[in-house]
């Protein structure tokens, strides 16, 4: 008997993000013709770009694994880093097609190899995703003090400030709900509902996490988010162009935040469009002097190449790691039901 989640409506919901991504790319390629993008790609210095892409990928890979190992250990599950290297690499292959499937496959691997309950693993993934999201929001807020944000002529600074303030209000509300007196007060008014929330396994880590756990995880994850910003400086330099660092600092977190919204798979299309719109006014370089290529065209080309490099490396490393780990360990018996654990996929641009 097919599961409730396998009907036509559910399948249609799954392909909607892909339809939106295709639509965005169709629009972008209409504005920036493929021949112009191909021409822009000829300006990249591959001798610099390729080694940097490889080093960047493995750096993020390593930090991701170390973070996961430390978080699992903190909450009672000892999984050495060396055991996570092939497992995490294999799930990258799944993530290329479906981020949620990659996380689910990783959770099943941990269940079968270390007897970690599925929702315990999802809870840790959720906890890490929340910290990642707060880093992006925080960096976007910091960057907003250095410039005026605009997309399609619409100012965004006040909107960014509102998001930052709302996010931190919700953070402290969340913390005092799980660790403070807030829950007891709420329980008195609507006890059953809040008891139900606190019993959900997906929130187990939030019930146990102390404030210093949030701080430690934030420190562990900051190299990833600093790298996301700095990487774009290097990528643009491989094309012989540059954007003032303060503009990179101000805009890249907002680009990543837009890409983390569950609109398209992995921010496909949304990050490309946001990157072009936000950095276009600040891109400088001698190759624009003759007018054969515009800053927008080069930004779009650079974003495509950087995204392709990331997905290519995920596919290659994932396939390699999968050869060294039994595929059955990642087999998803059934789609986990309940509260979604995907806050948003943080992807390179």
* pLDDT digits 0-9 by tens, 235-276: 999 999 999 988 898 889 888 888 888 888 878 889 999 999
**336: pLDDT strictly greater than 80:** no
pLDDT band of 349, cuts 50, 70, 90: low
More confident residue, 347 or 83: 83
Q: Are 220 and 63 spatial neighbours (Cβ–Cβ below 8 Å)?
A: yes
Q: Which residues of 260-285 are buried (b: 16+ CB within 10 A; e: fewer)?
A: beebbbbbbbbbbbbbbbbbbebbeb
Q: What does the pLDDT average to over 64-83?
A: 91
More confident residue, 70 or 331: 70
Q: Which long-range contacts (CB under 8 A, 24 or more apart) does 81-88 make?
A: 83/113, 85/321, 86/321, 86/324, 86/325, 87/113, 87/321, 87/325, 87/329, 88/61, 88/64, 88/321
What pLDDT was estimated at residue 340?
A: 42
**299: pLDDT strictly greater than 90:** yes
**What is the rounded distance in angstroms from the CA atom of residue 171 to the CA atom of residue 196?**
20
What pLDDT was estimated at residue 95?
A: 82
Instruction: Please give the sequence-ordered ranges of beta strands (E in DSSP) within the chain, or none if there are none.
Output: 150-151, 154-155
CA atoms within a 13 Å half-sphere pointing along the CA-CB vector of 188 = 4
What pLDDT was estimated at residue 99?
A: 76
**205: pLDDT strictly greater than 50:** yes
Q: Are 268 and 253 spatial neighbours (Cβ–Cβ below 8 Å)?
A: no
143 to 162, 164, 260: CA distances (angstroms): 14, 12, 17
Give residues with Cβ within 8 angstroms of 152, minimum separation 6. 277
- Other C-beta atoms closer than 10 Å to the C-beta of 31 total 12
Q: What does the pLDDT average to over 175-190?
A: 69
What pLDDT was estimated at residue 179?
A: 73
Q: What does the pLDDT average to over 24-28?
A: 92
DSSP string, 217-283: HHHHHHHHHHHHHHHHHHHHHHTT-B--HHHHHHHHHHHHHHHHSTTSGGGTTHHHHHHHHHHGGG-
pLDDT band of 341, cuts 50, 70, 90: very low
pLDDT band of 12, cuts 50, 70, 90: low
pLDDT band of 142, cuts 50, 70, 90: confident
DSSP state of 202: G
Which of 13-17, 43-47, 126-130, 134-138 shows the lowest mean pLDDT across its residues? 13-17
pLDDT band of 160, cuts 50, 70, 90: confident
**152: pLDDT strictly greater than 80:** no
What pLDDT was estimated at residue 1?
A: 41
- Structure-token pair, residue 229: 């910003």
**44: pLDDT strictly greater than 90:** yes
Mean pLDDT of the chain: 84
Give residues with Cβ within 8 angstroms of 269, minimum separation 6. 20, 21, 22, 23, 24, 25, 28
Q: Are 86 and 311 spatial neighbours (Cβ–Cβ below 8 Å)?
A: no
Give residues with Cβ within 8 angstroms of 283, minimum separation 6. 236, 241, 242, 243, 295, 298, 299
Q: What does the pLDDT average to over 76-93?
A: 89
Helix, strand, coil % over all residues of the chain, rounded to 5: 75, 0, 20
* pLDDT digits 0-9 by tens, 92-101: 888 877 777 7
What pLDDT was estimated at residue 159?
A: 84
**305: pLDDT strictly greater than 80:** yes
* pLDDT digits 0-9 by tens, 224-237: 999 999 999 999 99
**333: pLDDT strictly greater than 80:** no
The structural domains of the chain, with segments of one domain joined by +, span: 4-330
259 to 104, 222, 246, 291, 349: CA distances (angstroms): 21, 18, 21, 30, 9
């Amino acid at each position: 008997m097919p599961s409730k989640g396998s009907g036509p409506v559910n399948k249609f919901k799954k392909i909607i993000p892909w339809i939106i991504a295709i639509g965005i790319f169709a629009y972008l390629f209409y504005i920036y013709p493929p021949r112009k993008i191909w021409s822009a790609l000829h300006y990249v210095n591959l001798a610099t770009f390729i080694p940097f892409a490889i080093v960047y990928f493995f750096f993020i890979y390593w930090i991701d694994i170390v973070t996961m190992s430390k978080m699992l250990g903190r909450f009672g599950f000892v999984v050495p880093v060396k055991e996570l290297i092939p497992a995490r690499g294999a799930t990258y292959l799944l993530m290329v097609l479906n981020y949620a499937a990659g996380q689910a496959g990783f959770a099943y691997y941990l269940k079968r190899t270390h007897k970690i309950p599925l929702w315990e693993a999802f809870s840790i993934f959720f906890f890490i995703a929340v910290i990642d999201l707060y880093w992006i929001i925080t960096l976007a807020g910091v960057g907003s003090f250095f410039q005026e944000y605009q997309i399609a002529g619409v100012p965004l600074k006040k909107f960014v400030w509102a998001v930052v303030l709302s996010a931190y209000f919700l953070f402290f509300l969340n913390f005092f709900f799980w660790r403070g007196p807030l829950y007891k007060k709420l329980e008195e008014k609507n006890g059953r509902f809040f008891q139900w929330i606190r019993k959900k396994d997906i929130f187990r880590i939030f019930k146990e996490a102390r404030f210093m756990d949030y701080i430690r995880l934030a420190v562990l994850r900051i190299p990833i988010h600093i790298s996301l910003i700095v990487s774009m400086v290097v990528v643009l330099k491989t094309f012989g162009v540059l954007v003032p660092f303060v503009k990179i600092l101000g805009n890249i977190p907002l680009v990543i935040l837009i890409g983390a919204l569950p609109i398209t798979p992995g921010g496909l299309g949304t990050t490309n469009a946001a990157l072009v719109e936000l950095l276009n006014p600040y891109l400088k370089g001698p190759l624009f002097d003759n007018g054969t290529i515009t800053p927008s065209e080069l930004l779009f080309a650079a974003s495509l190449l950087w995204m392709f490099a990331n997905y290519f490396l995920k596919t290659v490393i994932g396939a390699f790691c999968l050869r060294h780990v039994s595929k059955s360990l990642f087999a998803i018996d059934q789609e986990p039901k309940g509260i979604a654990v995907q806050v948003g996929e943080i992807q390179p641009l």
